Amino acid sequence: MNPEILVLFTVGTSASGKSTWAQDLGKRFPHLQIAILERDQLRREQYGKSHDTAFSWTDWDVGQESEIQKQWVERLHDLLSADVLVLADTHIDPEQLTREASLLCEMGVREMALQYFPAQPLVELIRKDQSRSYPVGAAVLREQIQRLQPQDAYWQALEAAETSCAKLKA
């Protein structure tokens, strides 16, 4: 593990530009080793193991999410040697963000931050979503907009994890 690694959480709805932003980081900072971990990529890989067709959210078996979580933790361990690790998922649930940050803290990660993608108009998100390879659909986007909280809620979740971890180490 790189003791100086910076872990960046993305927070935002589907189709808000999180993955594009993460991929652009590597272009903007070529001198840094930047790794990206996305659960959606893991889902596509898992889906491909048992299907001859392209990934589809309507065909995705949510019962496989526990396996995706296991794979995510395994890949997380593998990527902690990077300079920057971007966890490019929605992270709309602050409690889930706290759990992930706590896990990273327990692994020895000291520097964590987030990149917040504010809610965009539903019509704009639907337009962007429809042009993606794996659209989630209007109903999911609408639900995500409703669940997205102000940026401060996510910073507080990150700080809560860091405080909790510091107490455990003391």
The structure tokens 């639907």 sit at 126
* Single-letter amino acid, residue 33: Q
C-alpha torsion sign, points 169, 83, 70, 68: positive
Tokens of 163: 């405080």
Q: With 0-12 CB in 10 A as exposed, 13-18 as middle and 19+ as buried, what is 41?
A: middle
Confidence of residue 49 (pLDDT cuts 50, 70, 90): confident
Q: What is the pLDDT of residue 170?
A: 58
The length of the chain is 170
Could you please state the CATH topology (level 3) that the domain comprising 6-169 is classified under.
Rossmann fold (3.40.50)
This prediction's pTM: 0.92
Has residue 168 got a pLDDT over 80? no
Q: How many CB atoms lie within 10 A of CB 54?
A: 11
Band the pLDDT of 169: cuts 50, 70, 90: low
